[in-house]
A and B are shown apart, each in its own frame.
Chain A
Amino acid sequence: MPSLQEMAKKDGAFAGGHRMCAGCPVPIFTKMLTRVTDGYEIVAGNATGCLEVASSIFPYSAWKIPWIHTAFENVSASMSGVETMYRVLKKKGKITKPYKFIAMGGDGGTYDIGLQSLSGAMERGHDLVYICYDNGAYMNTGVQRSSATPMGASTTTTPKGEQSFGRQGTRKDLTRIMVAHNIGYVAQASIHNPVDLSEKLKKAIELDGPAFINLLSPCIPGWKIAPDLAVEVARLGVETKYWPMYEVIDGEYKINYTPEKDIPVSEWMFLQGRFKHLQKPEYKDVVDAFQQEVDRNWNWLVRQAEAVKLLSTEAKN
């Protein structure tokens, strides 16, 4: 694994001059795509969303690798086609170099409208790494809620109001749904930790078969945070256990980082304008419910990881 300094010297997949918002952390991962591993030609596909729109305004493109976008809900399917054609042309001897394929989508294109095509591609076993950058809403179209939007967040389709505290109910746990596909590699990572992220990317790319990475990626206007705060907010999302960093390799859970302190999730929430209204005393129960959900998920995860440890010691005995 190259160090971050060495990595930075390599040719990146993604050029400057794109039109993502100032402070948007999404390019942190796109620049990495060709840097984490040698020996592969990388081809990328994109679902409609911020990354796609801001990186490819004709006649310009920020992509220095082959890149294809066809629609919002189908990047997994269109990349299934690209990957399958590669296998055919390789078999016929028309291509000799080894290739790897990356599909990228926002939470809307992944948790919601693209879930079916993602599920299909993973189940069929294409050699494809899917990276979901989860910014918790449909940002490109103006911050509408998605099934990844956390409880209580005010979005343009779940606005706070006289009768509403914002998004009702709890978010979907897509990472676990992907684990249920019995694929070789599933992980959660965060944009604030490039070392962990690059290691995960490398594992996912080098795996022969489908892999899925869910990446926490704060959004400046959507989360209503200052442009220099994205990385810090992501870090706190992990420290408060809202977004555990873990990986599931062949079905076995491993937590990659356990926060030292128990920081209440409200500290993460109240850094962000989208939760600000919940500071009012009458919404204490919403914040409590949010905390309970975070605790429940974390404890569940700890139990999975412990079960794995237990099984492996039993196997040794």
Chain B
Amino acid sequence: MSECMRQINPDVVPAFPITPSTQVIEDFSQFVADGKVDTEIITVESEHSAMSACIGAAAAGGRVMTATSSAGMALMWEMLYVASSMRQPIVMTLINRAMSAPINIHADHSDSMGARDAGWIQLYAENNQEAYDNLIMAIKIAENMDVRLPVMVCMDGFIISHCVQTMQLEDTEKIRLFVGEFASTYPVLDTENPASWGALDLQDYYMEHKRAQHMAMKNAKNVIKKVSGEFADIFGRKYELFESYQLEDAERVIIAINSVCGEIKEVIDERREKGDRVGLLKIRSFRPFPYEEIAAALEGVKIVTVLDRSESMGAYGPLFTEIRTALFNAPQKPMVYNRIFGLGGRELFMSDIHDIFEENKTYLETNRVEKMFDYLKVRGG
């Protein structure tokens, strides 16, 4: 991700270290120290200040990036909302890590899922290539004049962030051409046309401003598609709002996010060889959430297992609630149920994924979902 940031060459990067995103900032600091970028780093004293400085710098009129994880993003919480409400196109790498307590440095999605209502576009990635590509596209999506919203580029801590994978690095010039020049809107540094940013906004205007934000998020769906199309034309890798893997004729489908999708695909390949009609729907854009598109993609599917790598205590997992909402108006609703897995980095092996497909096979055959909600691979259950 730091290499990608070097290629993008943002103006300002305020940042604070936290495992597992520290290395992004360390490596990038070296690029600054070696004069490989024009960027100024602000080595702030906390993540709250990191996001505050991001907002100030972006409002001043330039391109701003940062990176964080877990507790770091939790400390930014208040400012995440301010960033999106001030419509600042900040791009942040979020290396997903479990929230404390107990303190744990490994992957789950409790950090980003908790921020799902903060008004940020959220893009997820299965592997390093996708994370790299998403980061490049995020700049263009965020800065689009119909959007002007911050983007969180999410990937699993350690599993992806600290994993050596072969991937295609693109030519720096091509990337810079693709992302283009930053265009500012009412920059704070324009003293000829002084603007006031961050006014008190009461009952008489607040709701209109919130609705405008919602509209920008709706626009983002088309802009993500458009930018992904342009990216495919230039770099050859094609992305949608979600990935459909062996969905066309699938009867039994898993829906999941991020790195686990790699293993799920392998299991599907094995099972497909034996004629088992299974498939995967992998979320890329969680905000905005493509409800209609997902419902259409699931037409003909008979049962759906939604895997959540975070939970909302006392409720279903966040991905599950979205999927069920998407399916509610579908003419033929598949059976759908929820499993929580992988909290704090607990592994899900290929054999476990085979077990999921065995279980939903039984559910389908008996036409009954025995357990709507359960944990996978947990003691004492």
Contact = CB atoms under 8 A, between A and B. Distances in A.
Nearest to B45: A120
Question: Which 5 pairs, one residue from A and one from B, show the smallest C-beta to C-beta distance?
Answer: A81-B56, A120-B45, A81-B57, A77-B49, A85-B60
B189 A43 contact: yes
Interface string B188-204: 11110011111111100
A280 interface: no
Interface of B: 11-12, 14, 38-40, 42-46, 48-50, 52-62, 64, 78-79, 82, 86, 188-191, 194-202, 205
B62 A43 contact: no
B198 A68 contact: yes
11 contacts: A56-B196, A61-B199, A65-B194, A66-B196, A71-B82, A82-B56, A84-B14, A85-B56, A89-B60, A117-B45, A117-B49
Given A56-B200, A74-B79, A81 B54 contact: yes
Interface of A: 41-43, 45-46, 52-53, 56-59, 61, 63-71, 73-74, 76-82, 84-89, 91-92, 95, 97, 99, 116-117, 119-120, 123-124
Contact of A120 (B11, B46, B60, B200): B46
A33 to B, nearest CB: 12
B200 A85 contact: no
A81 B40 CA distance: 10
Is chain B's binding surface mostly helix, strand, loop or mixed? mixed
Nearest to B49: A77
Contacts of B200: 52-53, 56-58
Given A58-B200, A124-B42, A124-B43, A66 B189 contact: yes
Contacts of B12: 81, 84-85, 88
A116 B44 CA distance: 10
Contact of A77 (B53, B60, B195, B196): B53
A120 B45 CA distance: 6
B76 to A, nearest CB: 10
B194 A64 contact: yes
B189 A89 contact: yes
A30 B196 CA distance: 15
Nearest to B60: A85
A70 B52 contact: yes
A97 B192 CA distance: 12
Contact of B197 (A67, A80, A120): A67
Contact of A68 (B45, B79, B197, B205): B197
Contacts of A84: 12, 14, 40, 42, 53, 57
Contact of B38 (A42, A53, A91): A91
B194 A88 contact: no
Contacts of B48: 73-74, 77, 117
B71 to A, nearest CB: 16
A64 B195 CA distance: 8
B188 A43 contact: yes
B194 A70 contact: no
A65 B191 contact: yes
A65 to B, nearest CB: 5
